[in-house]
Structure 1
């Protein structure tokens, strides 16, 4: 098979990793190039956006993850790119200024460490042979040895390993072959340790991702793990990928769940992203998320609004004197608006929402919860 034909197949198969697919503007969404490769958005340190070339090294998987369309039992067209092929393809795109960096993952070829050696070889070729010093994101394969993980850290700008499910019960439902503690939690803890304060790789970016809805997990289970990932492992981001009906084994819980809520899976993904943002940027804690009797977030209302409706005594907030943390509890006010408020307060008293440059429905919402004392 020709290299470009393999790239088209493997770029197509990389679409099942849906991180960044849920966004609020056109810059947050993945898009496909004319030659079939998937391009993912990335925020640049100096501001603005660029895109990453995203592909699998191989789709010839030996694993049995029941949610995955590339699982070993599936009838798909299999192929593998050699490390040299990926390195050459990427450098061609990079020299033509088509991409900013590389996002490389893979199915499990034989064993986790064999696969990691191929993944790391791509990065090593780029760094040493091509003298490329730009952005490389490498996926850690579940079950990879400590040595393979550390080598990936030494070569990459960012690394990630999908946590997939909140706990062993759900992992065993979706993949009887995987050992949750050994294959997923152990390397995640190692990643957290390697990027700890004062450690060699403290400046490396670490992320992970949940597959949402393939098992019968609740939002409360995901939120508990989400909080611990940030609190104990100091990861930069957690992503969520809504399971899509028809991609996996027909017997998994996610197939039956979507019969009862056909469009709810993407809205649920969106609510989890809102929850993640509230944890990272708004100072929310695990106990601040109010769930229904089944332990799930409400789909009809965002979690910040749910908290506000349940704490009427917290309001109205004094716009001219309240602390940043308090201001962030006001529906309609986010981190950027808080920065405007604090800046305006240094120059004098705020007398109206209009002075902050907020208009329309969001301004109407804020007025319900603040006073200009």
Structure 2
């Protein structure tokens, strides 16, 4: 196969990683480029968005991850790009100003360290042959050695490794070849250590991702682990990828689950992202995220609305005197609106929603929880 034909196959196979598929705004979602390649959004350091070229180095894989359609037992068209092919293709995109950066992952060729050597070689060519100074996100392969991981971090702007499930019990349902403690937890801890504040690679961002719904985990378990990733390992972001029924092994829970609505799994992913946002941006604690008797988030309601309904004693919030944290507990008031409220009332008393630009259904929602004292 020629380079372009291989890229089409490998870029298409990267679609199974559905991070950013269910963003709340048009700039948050992945999309296809005109040539069929998947382009992913990234937040720029100075604000705004640009896009990443996302591809696999190879769809050859020796692992047996039962949720993955590229696992070793499946019959798919396999191919591998050489490191210099990846670098040359990407630099052509850069010269044409089509992308902001590169997101490079891979199936496991031979073994984790051989694969990491190929991934790191592509990044090294970009950094030292093409003198590329921009954004490179590299996926760490489960089971990679400490040396391979540090080499990757030395070349990247960001690194990630999928945690996949909240704990070994759920993980073992999905793989017999990978060891959760050694292949997943150990590398995540090392990534955290090497990029900690004050360390040599503190500029490098670390992220991870859960595969939601392939195993039998609950939302409460995912969110417990998410808190550990943020508070103990200091990861910058946690992502969620909804398992797509029909792609995995028929024996896993995600295939056996009977869904009354096939879109429920994507709504579950969306509710997890909303909970993540409440935790990262709004100051919610684990106890503030409320679950049903089975340990899952409600699909029919935003988790912020659920909290407000369960805490009537907190309301009404006084718009002219409440602090930022109190304002952010009000359904319908987000970060931008809270800042507008704080800025406006420094100049004058707020007496109506028109003062804040809150209109229509959002105004009706906010009105239930606030007063103009």
Distance 1:102 1:189 in 2: 24
Distance 2:260 2:73 in 1: 27
Confirm or deny that 1:316 pairs with 2:316. yes
Q: Is the 8 A contact 1:52 1:100 kept in 2?
A: yes
Distance 1:39 1:192 in 2: 27
Distance 1:33 1:308 in 2: 41
Confirm or deny that 1:162 pairs with 2:162. yes
The DSSP-based 3-state class of the residue aligned with 2:173 is: helix
Residues 68 and 371 of structure 1: is their aligned pair in 2 closer, same or farther, counting only changes over 3 Å?
A: same
The DSSP-based 3-state class of the residue aligned with 1:174 is: coil
**CA apart distance, 1:262:** 2.5
Partner of 1:234: 234
Q: Is the 8 A contact 1:258 1:265 kept in 2?
A: no
The DSSP-based 3-state class of the residue aligned with 2:257 is: helix
Structure 1 window deviating more from structure 2 (96-105 vs 25-34): it is: 25-34
Q: How does 1:195-210 map to 2 (within 5 A)?
A: 195-210=195-210
Confirm or deny that 1:191 pairs with 2:191. yes
Structure 2: unaligned runs, 5 residues or longer:
none
Q: How does 1:321-336 map to 2 (within 5 A)?
A: 321-336=321-336
Q: How does 1:328-367 map to 2 (within 5 A)?
A: 328-367=328-367
Distance 1:354 1:175 in 2: 56
Confirm or deny that 1:297 pairs with 2:307. no
Distance 1:192 1:360 in 2: 45
Structure 1: unaligned runs, 5 residues or longer:
none
Q: C-alpha deviations, 1:125-176, integer Å up to 9, x for none? A: 0000000001100001111111111111111111111100010011100001
Distance 1:370 1:32 in 2: 43
Structure 1 window deviating more from structure 2 (22-31 vs 146-155): it is: 22-31
Q: Which runs of 4+ in 1 moved over 6 A?
A: none
Confirm or deny that 1:257 pairs with 2:223. no
Q: Is the 8 A contact 1:161 1:207 kept in 2?
A: yes
Partner of 1:99: 99
The DSSP-based 3-state class of the residue aligned with 1:61 is: coil
- TM-score for both structures, normalised by structure 2: 0.98
Distance 1:38 1:348 in 2: 48
**CA apart distance, 1:260:** 4.6
**CA apart distance, 1:48:** 2.4
- TM-score for both structures, normalised by structure 1: 0.98
Distance 2:220 2:246 in 1: 26
Q: How does 1:1-373 map to 2 (within 5 A)?
A: 1-373=1-373
Q: C-alpha deviations, 1:341-369, integer Å up to 9, x for none? A: 11112112111121111111111111110
**CA apart distance, 1:332:** 0.5
Q: Is the 8 A contact 1:245 1:258 kept in 2?
A: no
**CA apart distance, 1:239:** 0.7
Distance 2:368 2:26 in 1: 31
**CA apart distance, 1:261:** 4.5
Distance 1:324 1:6 in 2: 51
**CA apart distance, 1:47:** 2.6
**CA apart distance, 1:32:** 1.6
Q: C-alpha deviations, 1:258-281, integer Å up to 9, x for none? A: 445522101100000000000000
Distance 1:350 1:197 in 2: 41
Q: Is the 8 A contact 1:317 1:326 kept in 2?
A: yes
Distance 1:314 1:182 in 2: 45
Q: How many residues align?
A: 373
